[in-house]
């Protein structure tokens, strides 16, 4: 996997952050792990190999458009 930093809304290098897998075009999300069993119980079709992270909506909406020339800067 070769990752390209897309952007973050965090400060001082803290989570959350988005990356693009340059080989597949998939998005990799770095965020705070969801661990509460009651929260996880609400998720659907969970595979053993899956995990869940929490990210602010602003992070996803700020970097929605795929743009190779985009400058991704922390706020």
Each residue of 12-55: pLDDT tens digit? 777 789 999 999 999 999 999 999 999 999 999 999 999 999 98
Question: What Å distances lie between residue 62 and 3, 47, 57, 73, CA to CA?
Answer: 19, 29, 9, 11
Q: Indicate yes or no: pTM above 0.95.
A: no
Residue 64, pLDDT score: 67
Higher pLDDT, 54 or 65: 54
């Amino acid at each position: 996997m070769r990752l390209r930093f897309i952007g973050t809304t965090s400060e001082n290098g803290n989570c959350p952050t988005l990356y693009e897998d340059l080989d597949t075009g998939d998005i990799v999300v770095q965020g705070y792990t969801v661990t509460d069993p009651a929260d996880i119980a609400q998720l659907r079709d969970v595979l053993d190999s899956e995990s869940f992270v929490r990210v602010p909506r602003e992070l996803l909406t700020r970097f929605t458009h795929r743009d190779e020339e985009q400058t991704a800067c922390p706020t």
